[in-house]
Structure 1
Amino acid sequence: MREIKFRGLDRIDGKVKNIEQIDIKNELVLFENDGWVDGNNYELMQYTGLKDKNGKEIYEGDIIQLKNEDLEVIKVVCEFGTAKRQIFDNLVEITGFYFKRLCDDKKTFPIANNYLGKHDLELFEIIGNIYENPELLEAYNES
């Protein structure tokens, strides 16, 4: 069972903060240094339960860099939703966390073993997130 936790983007100051607790009924979030605040002022990002090669927790919105089998550096964004995936002869829809490649918007999931015989997460390195580092998205889209 994975750990359920969130972080939130403060829409006012643009900073991402770790959330200690959420009061869904009253739409409040608790931050360690800020106390209870209006949850409507925050964009929530859920922890995937996965960590990158440096042990850093992967959240929705994280931008991740890795090298593919051709040793090309590619970037992906962690998202939550439904993606279609070909499994043997069937096209199935899977709902959960996935990684969207920036070069072509293809949605993919971590696999058990990759071309190096390692788990994909051993290649993933978080380099930022879509909120605090939008230039990483812009720079990629311009190339």
Structure 2
Amino acid sequence: MRQLKFRAWTRFSSIYRMDYLSGFFFYGTDSDQIHLFLPNDGADFLVPSANVILMQFTGLVDSNGNDIYEGDIIAIDDKTTYKVYWDAENCYWAILSKQGDEHGPYGGALIQNTGYSRSRKRVVLGNIYQNPDLLTEE
């Protein structure tokens, strides 16, 4: 069974930080506040939902055993870098690169393109919030 895990990119006192969550739930009309539970320091916060970006665990790990989350930037075979995101239209975890050809950027289903059925090196390099420069065109 796939483990459901989340992390959050949160803004506290005008400083953004990445936290791994042990739980969360929404408060208020239209979910205007979110209560976050942080396992590392045992803290919990009630913050405006506009200050929180939740990222879900894809259920996959990279070649080093690191969890791959929505919003991560991964490299495949130490070459092209890709952003991991949920493709709601096709209902799967997908990747997208700034690199491409005359048909557009490279991308598609995360499992198919990263070769989970084949042996290809996949490494989490960072994420789109803390390391957006990793998605530069080569």
Question: For the residues of structure 2 that align with 1:74 and 1:20, how far apart are their CA atoms?
Answer: 32
List aligned pairs for 1:13-92, cutoff 5 A: 13-25=15-27, 27-32=34-39, 33=41, 34-38=43-47, 40=49, 41-67=51-77, 73-82=79-88
Q: Given the two structures, how large is their TM-score scaled by the length of structure 2?
A: 0.76
Q: Tell whether the 8 Å contact from 1:6 to 1:19 is kept in structure 2 after alignment.
A: yes
Q: Which residue of 2 aligns with 1:125?
A: 123
Report the Cα offset of residue 61 of structure 1.
Answer: 0.7
Percent identity, aligned pairs only, is 25
SS at match of 1:132: coil
Q: Given the two structures, how large is their TM-score scaled by the length of structure 1?
A: 0.73
Q: Do the aligned partners of residues 101 and 23 (structure 1) sit closer, same or farther apart at CA in structure 2, a change above 3 Å counting? A: same
Q: Tell whether the 8 Å contact from 2:71 to 2:128 is kept in structure 1 after alignment.
A: yes
Q: Do the aligned partners of residues 39 and 8 (structure 1) sit closer, same or farther apart at CA in structure 2, a change above 3 Å counting? A: farther
Q: Tell whether the 8 Å contact from 1:6 to 1:44 is kept in structure 2 after alignment.
A: yes
Q: Which runs of 4+ in 1 moved over 6 A?
A: none
Q: Alignment RMSD, CA only?
A: 2.4
Report the Cα offset of residue 5 of structure 1.
Answer: 1.0
Cα deviation digits, residues 38-88 of structure 1 (max 9, x gap): 251211100000000000000011000112xxxx711111001235xxxxx
Q: Which residue of 2 aligns with 1:90?
A: none
Match of 1:98 among 86, 91, 94: 94
| Long gaps (5+) in structure 2 | 29-33
Q: Do the aligned partners of residues 37 and 133 (structure 1) sit closer, same or farther apart at CA in structure 2, a change above 3 Å counting? A: same
Report the Cα offset of residue 25 of structure 1.
Answer: 4.2
